Chain A
Amino acid sequence: MNKDKRTHDVRPGRITEEKIAANLADMHPPLTPSEAVIDADRCYFCYDAPCTTACPTGIDIPGFIQKIRSGNLEGSAHTILRENIMGGMCARVCPTEVLCEEACVRNTHEDRPVRIGMLQRYATDPIFENNTPLFERAPATGRKVAIVGGGPAGLSCAHRLAMLGHSATIFEPMDKLGGLNEYGIAAYKTVDDFAAREVQYILGIGGIEVRTGTGLGKDVSLGELRKNYDAVFLGFGLAGVNGLGLDGEQVEGVANAVDYIAALRQAPVRSSLPVGRRVVVIGGGMTAIDIAVQSKALGAEEVTMVYRRGQEHMNASRYEQEFAQTRGVGVRTWSAPRTLHVSDGHVCGVQFETMRAGKDGKLEGTGQTYVLDADVVFKAIGQKLLADPLASSMEIVELKDGRIVCDDERMTSLPGVWAGGDCVFGGEDLTVSAVQDGKVAAISIDRFLKDLGPRGK
């Protein structure tokens, strides 16, 4: 940690609330009916469609697009939501450019895919706007399942269990359900409180009890849940944030990107948030993009994303990277943070060492360094499982690389315990994958509960 004499400029109200609202407006405004039909007409109705194969939830994409074309919007929404109850949010946040739209055969034909994500939003928006019920509960089975974590994985699992007639209880430490949809996704990707509306829609099926402000390992233990419920689903995400491993990480001005994004999503007056004049974001994933773009949107003058490897290695898709760049974010690659510069207890800069791929592609330093001045430094180098929820329990769940190990049905090493979402090993850390985990686990839990026989025997 270097001591340094420099001023730091971090303050709220860098630009007006109106300007911020405009900067954080819907990233992709919804399609008009004409646009939707024109794009739907472009779908070739492929057999065993590559887009469907590429979708982690396996949505019948040609099927729902055909229904848009035929004017059967409600049927289209049902086709989407029956595979992915968060099809509305996924239409907004999925990196479609590396999933369904990358697989679209139109890319081969003319280098321009059908806008599947936008069409999915077009088909599902009216359902959430009008709260149209598309799913019904099966007759109650009397079986109870505990869902730990009210994010996409937990909500998806709860909804499918409710459809199958089981009762689900969601335990969520935060005040609101939705997980990263509510707290972690950039504001311009989900405007008009969509995340909360989607949660309300999901709960609308009935049979789902919600206990917010209730954390595993704090208010309730895994042992209790296993005792009191017929099955348990763990979907508590990654509440921990990876550190840089540098001196001075605790000083003023060094913050976790996820915390700031959450604060921004919940802030009633967004111009009240303190914003640095010069912002350095360390990381190359979606969180790094989101915090960089939003810092710019809040009025930061200079925002630089710094990643230790090349642009092609970033977790953020090329599309996301280009989006950030068009929003005025600078991107520096092959640079690793080495020293935080601090003055008066506040960060004022970061020294980076330039990096290269050495033998076997292993990352190595070049010895050359440079310094970026910074009023705020955001850490966005990934999240990790907080050991706490499981550590205090007597139950041992097998972990790998700090995440829960599951089989294909999302069953953990503990009998009667399933898991899904970001807390699971080998996942893709995407909303859509979490939804799929929850769905697959629910179907497996249902089979398990049926094998138990009728309640009370």
Chain B
Amino acid sequence: MADLTTTFLGIKSPNPFWLASAPPTDKAYNVNRAFEAGWGGAVWKTLGEDPPIVNVNGPRYGAIHGNDRRVLGFNNIELITDRPLGVNLAEIRQIKRDWPDRALIVSVMLPMNEQSWAKYVPMIEDTGADGLELNFGCPHGMSERGMGSAVGQVPEYIQQAAAWCKKFARVPVIVKLTPNITNILPAARAAKDGGADAVSLINTLNSIMRVDYDNLTIYPATDGKGSHGGYCGPAVKPIALHMVAEIARSRETRGLPISGIGGITDWRDAVDFLALGASTVQVCTAAMVYGFKIIDDLVDGLDHYLDKKGFASVHELTGKAVPSVTDWQYLNLNHVDKAFIDQDLCIKCGRCHIVCEDTSHQAITQTVNGARHFEVIDAECVGCNLCVSVCPVESCITMRPMTAGTDPRTGRAITREKADWTTHPNNPGRRA
């Protein structure tokens, strides 16, 4: 049994799985149920100033579905907590008292003035919560009022607000970043420069789910009108992983603790975030789609995985894949992969053939000696991985590196020597 205990900024939790600040953490009732189910921590739904905001009384959520109506992408227009501050603070206090071993972080969103932070930060800390997470990420509603992603999109604001918070806080401060920017690094750097102890990412992405095909209005809509919402769920994970990895590998932000968020549904998703630099992970959509019980697989799956890989703790996994992330220009152009189709596993659907034929390199047969047979033509295969991506059978098509001989496509001998774009003859700015 690996040790799943996590210490993040000195905050301990029995496992690295925290519920993200979102609808599931808006009340003591829900957080209680989550902790009973085994969640390691929770980030309380974002608190704001009193009087509280209000929500619409129409749809707050929309989804896109894959096969069997599995939710692949999810969006929401719910604002921060709409309950009085006093009620939330009392419940937070009670929960922390009832669950001392769990991480309890409070998300907070305040206007861009120092007095607000001076007033509210001590009130929140007084609950006994373990830390604060600054919501600079929500892209809907609150951003129109100069908060949420309106702050997160301007590094100077991030730095300023983080500094104000740190000035009045004794507990660790995490800055939650918005992905609605072109480059995550200035935002992460600003958080660090403002004194934040860690960053968490990603918050949701600006999105419109679809139109209503009957009425030709935005869908979902409230009384015929809708507003862009925050997009999340499995569909956004790759965007989140990229941003996490960038912070983990960039010289200026390397070492800044990261809590990873974005589409985590099973333990493998968690491994992605941890290996790319996160120390804990936060989950919302999967819980909202399946309920809190998914924590069983998250914990159990990660535990077995760590055992199998010989890691004694979650900590050992953090950042393991970061050195493998590089810039395109440093990829080894001498390396040659060819797709290989395992004929015993092939079900002969022909998808690999038609996508290669129609959209790529005409490198997979349709028939061999008149019989339906799908086989890679090495002389055409560029190793692009399209066939692997579309094949419905796990592991049926794999990429195999050529280790010797000549690439039948280019006629060039395989070499172990590495060579990348920086020195390539076609590169006008190549290094000598």
Q: Which residues of A contact B (CB under 8 A)?
A: 37-38, 41-42, 44-50, 105-106, 108-109
Contacts and interface: CB of A to CB of B under 8 A. Distances in A.
A48 B347 CA distance: 13
Contact of B350 (A37, A42, A46, A109): A46
Contacts of B353: 47
A46 B351 CA distance: 6
B68 A46 contact: no
Given A109-B392, A109-B393, A47 B68 contact: no
Contacts, number: 36
Contacts of A109: 347, 392-393
Contacts of A45: 351
Given A109-B392, A109-B393, A46 B349 contact: yes
Contacts of A105: 347-349
Contacts of B350: 46-49
A408 to B, nearest CB: 20
A247 to B, nearest CB: 52
B67 A108 contact: no
B21 to A, nearest CB: 34
A38 B68 contact: yes
B354 interface: yes
A108 B347 contact: yes
Nearest to B392: A44
A50 B348 contact: yes
Interface of B: 67-69, 347-351, 353-354, 366, 372, 392-393
B176 to A, nearest CB: 36
Contacts of B392: 44, 109
A267 to B, nearest CB: 44
Contacts of B393: 109
Contacts of A44: 347, 349, 351, 392
A105 B374 CA distance: 14
Given A41-B68, A44-B351, 13 more contacts: A42-B67, A44-B349, A45-B351, A46-B351, A47-B353, A47-B354, A48-B354, A48-B372, A49-B350, A106-B347, A108-B347, A108-B348, A109-B393
Contacts of A48: 350, 354, 366, 372
Contacts of A41: 67-68
A46 B68 CA distance: 19
B363 to A, nearest CB: 15
A114 to B, nearest CB: 12
Contacts of A106: 347
The 6 closest A-B pairs by CB, nearest first: A47-B350, A47-B354, A41-B67, A108-B347, A105-B347, A46-B349
B349 A47 contact: yes
A50 B351 contact: no
B353 to A, nearest CB: 6
Nearest to A103: B348
A37 B65 CA distance: 12
Nearest to B352: A47
A108 B393 CA distance: 10
29 contacts: A37-B69, A38-B68, A41-B68, A44-B349, A44-B392, A45-B351, A46-B348, A46-B349, A46-B350, A46-B351, A47-B350, A47-B351, A47-B353, A47-B354, A47-B366, A48-B350, A48-B354, A48-B366, A49-B350, A50-B348, A50-B372, A105-B347, A105-B348, A106-B347, A108-B347, A108-B348, A109-B347, A109-B392, A109-B393
Contacts of B348: 46, 50, 105, 108
Contacts of A37: 69
Contacts of B69: 37
Which of B67, B349, B354, B393 gathers the greatest number of chain A CB atoms within 10 Å?
A: B349
A47 B352 CA distance: 9
A98 B31 CA distance: 55
A63 to B, nearest CB: 13
A84 B69 CA distance: 31
B143 to A, nearest CB: 34
A175 B374 CA distance: 53
